[in-house]
Amino acid sequence: MTNECKWLVASESPTAALARFSHSLDFASLTDREKRAAKRHFLDSLGACVAGIDQPLVRGAASLLDTLTGGGNVPVAGSGRRTDLLSAVYLMAASCHALELDDGNREGSIHPGTVIVPAVLGLGYQLRASGAAALSAVVAGYEVAVSLAEVLHPHASRRGFQTTGVVGVVGAAAAAARLLSLDATRVEKAMGIAASSGAGLFAYLTGGGNIKKLHPAHAAREGVFAALLAARDVVDGPKAVAETTAGLFHAFGGIHPWTGAIPGQCPAVLAIARSYTKPYPCCRHIHPAIDGLLSLREKHRFHADEVASVEIGTYAAAMPHATLGWESLTTAQLSFPFVMAAALRTGTIDLETFSERMRADPALIADTAKVRVQLDQECCASYPQQGPARVAVTLHDGSRHAIYVADPRGCPELPMSDTELFEKFRMMARGRLSPAAVDDIIEHVWTLDTAPSLRPLVDSLSTPFLQKASA
């Protein structure tokens, strides 16, 4: 690491430095790139919340919470529901991750937006936080969660832990502490409290189930609660919780003794500006292969029926997705064979790709047998500094076309344009918000740093559904 890091001080531990940075972060002091990134990721996460709110798992969790809580006035984005703070945060985080639309960071293998943004939406609404305060909290939460995840990955994933839940909870605590205006000491306490709630197993990749969708929900809720506990001095969290013996690095990553490696792969650029947005609603590990296949399909003009085989070369972290099935929407979005077959046959990957109709399409299912996924040494050597894939298509006439994709679209090096991001938001809100409401929300987010309160934006994501319910 270099001394360019925006939060590191040599005399401080990483945990203390991140806590101090979170406490003191001022949105006005950020670079234009970082400010723009904060708004882009905030908008993208809002759209994912709206799109996923009606998924069966989210509806089921909401129904259960109704029987356990006494109600409240915090809106759940994308619905007419209002509930208590922790339940609202939980449901928004679950919905944000429900359709694999949420953002991520490759070096940390984490989905920060699905944890941080719902935490800020809920607590920021309750506290009547300004738009600039909300954006500052989002940036702080990303910095903490991603920086810790970058140290843990790939060590934690090899041990079966998903970093979104493991350190997302610490990022949510830092974001919430920033909204609560806690001093640096209490921010570190909140992070220490939150770390004991870090969790999330990759067991669903081998044992099935859809619990993955609730990993961010647990993290967001417990992170906010940790900050509230710290604010009231209810409990003390351990100091240096990332690097101490039996802390995050040791317990989840097996990194002991801590070597002094500093979290963060690009210290001169804040984490929110080095995270990606997704052009396709499926597992990010599959995206470079999608880009490669669609590029070959467009360049060489072949049809799925002309194709004998599609060979994918990838890296080790992506291999658990190589043989997954497609019996449900949630598994299909993680399945290399299904996603690649859909890209081959239709030339696109969108939410309709994972509908019951598409998952039962005989031609598409036949195409899955053409897809073979294997480790590629160049891809393995490049990951996680890059997110690569090698794609080779062999036609029945014997001709072969191949491409190597170093990075997928949406990464910081190949970002989606603002126009593409706005279109994605419109797609996520389609059928739930009117076109005029969508345009208003985009404009509101783009000027959020000048807004005196976050509340009008959050209300605009709830009021249309309240009006429908009362109509």
Q: Contacts for 57-62 with beta carbons within 8 Å, 24 or more apart?
A: 57/94, 57/98, 57/210, 57/213, 57/214, 58/91, 58/94, 58/95, 58/98, 58/213, 61/90, 61/91, 61/94, 61/214, 61/217, 62/91
For residue 260, pLDDT beyond 70? no
Give me the residue spans of the domains in the chain.
14-274, 284-405
Helices assigned H by DSSP within 280-349 = 287-300, 329-332, 336-346
Residue with tokens 């003390």, as numbered in its chain: 236
Can you give the length of the chain in residues? 471
Q: Report the relative pairing of strands 400-405 and 389-395 from DSSP bridges.
A: antiparallel
Residue 292, classed as helix, strand or coil, is helix
Q: What pLDDT does 462 receive?
A: 86
Q: How confident is the model over 148-176, as a mean pLDDT?
A: 96
For residue 50, pLDDT beyond 90? yes
Q: Are 306 and 394 in contact (CB under 8 A)?
A: no
Q: How confident is the model over 157-177, as a mean pLDDT?
A: 97
For residue 117, pLDDT beyond 90? yes
Q: How confident is the model over 113-128, as a mean pLDDT?
A: 98
Q: What is the pTM of this model?
A: 0.94
The per-residue DSSP string of 331-374 comes to HHTT-HHHHHHHHHHHS--SGGGGSHHHHT-HHHHHHHTTEEEE
Rounded to whole angstroms, the Cα distance separating 354 from 344 reads 14
Residue 436, classed as helix, strand or coil, is helix
Rounded to whole angstroms, the Cα distance separating 161 from 337 reads 24
Rounded to whole angstroms, the Cα distance separating 58 from 3 reads 44
- pLDDT tens per residue, range 405-452: 999 999 999 999 999 999 999 999 998 999 999 999 999 999 999 999
Residue with tokens 């996923």, as numbered in its chain: 52
Residue with tokens 């937006």, as numbered in its chain: 113
Half-sphere exposure of 92 (CA within 13 A, CB side): 34
Under the banding of pLDDT at 50, 70 and 90, the label for residue 10 is low
Q: What pLDDT does 267 receive?
A: 60
Average pLDDT, the chain: 94
Q: Are 189 and 236 in contact (CB under 8 A)?
A: yes
Q: Which of 137, 116, 127, 138 is nearest to 73 (CA)?
A: 127
For residue 225, pLDDT beyond 70? yes
Residue with tokens 């989002």, as numbered in its chain: 138
Domains 14-274 and 284-405 share a fold: no
Q: Candidates 3.40.50.300, 1.10.4100.10, 1.10.10.10, 3.10.580.10; correct CATH number of 14-274? A: 1.10.4100.10
Q: Which of 35, 33, 43, 32 is nearest to 443 (CA)?
A: 43
Residues of the chain above pLDDT 70, percent = 94
Residues pairing with 105 in the sheet: 110
Residues pairing with 375 in the sheet: 314
- pLDDT tens per residue, range 66-111: 999 878 999 999 999 999 999 999 999 999 999 999 999 999 999 9
For domain 284-405, the CATH superfamily is 2-methylcitrate dehydratase PrpD (3.30.1330.120)
Helix 131-152 / helix 113-127 crossing angle, nearest 10 deg: 150
Higher pLDDT, 209 or 335: 335
Under the banding of pLDDT at 50, 70 and 90, the label for residue 470 is very low
Q: Which of 112, 121, 219 is nearest to 173 (CA)?
A: 219
